[in-house]
Amino acid sequence: MRMGSKKFEVSKKRATFLASKTGTVEADFLTWLIIHGNICLALRHPQNIGPSRLYAIQFVKMLGKALVQWGALTEEEFKDLEKLEIEEGFRDIGG
C-alpha cells in the first residue's frame, strides 16, 4: 500500500494482530452512505488489487446490509446500487 511517496508495509505478525482486533466508529446514516459510495468508487479503480481488496469488498457488503437493516436503504435500493456498481466496473461485488 502506498501512503504518499513512501510504501507502507505491514508484517504478517502485525497483520494477524490487526485482524484479531475490532473497533467501533459511530456516524450518522448519511455519513455511512457516503463511506459506502466512496469505498465502492475506490474498488472500481484498476490498480486496486491485492489481498486488502478482499477485506474492502467484505466490509462494503457488510456495510450495505447494515444500511438496509438500519432502514437507511431499502432492499430494492441496495440491489439497485449493487447492480450499478457491477455495471460501472466493480464486478466482484456480486459474488
Q: Show me where the domains of the chain are located.
A: 26-93
List per-block mean pLDDT (blocks of 10 residues) for the chain, which spans 95 residues: 60 86 92 93 85 87 94 93 78 63
CA–CA separation, 29 and 35 (whole Å): 10
pLDDT, position 3 = 47
Residue 79 has a CB neighbour count (10 Å cut-off) of 13
Positive or negative CA dihedral for 80, 81, 86, 87? positive
pLDDT of residue 7: 65
Given this model, what pLDDT does residue 62 score? 93
C-alpha cell at position 91: 464486478
Look at strands 6-7 and 2-3 and give their pairing.
Answer: antiparallel
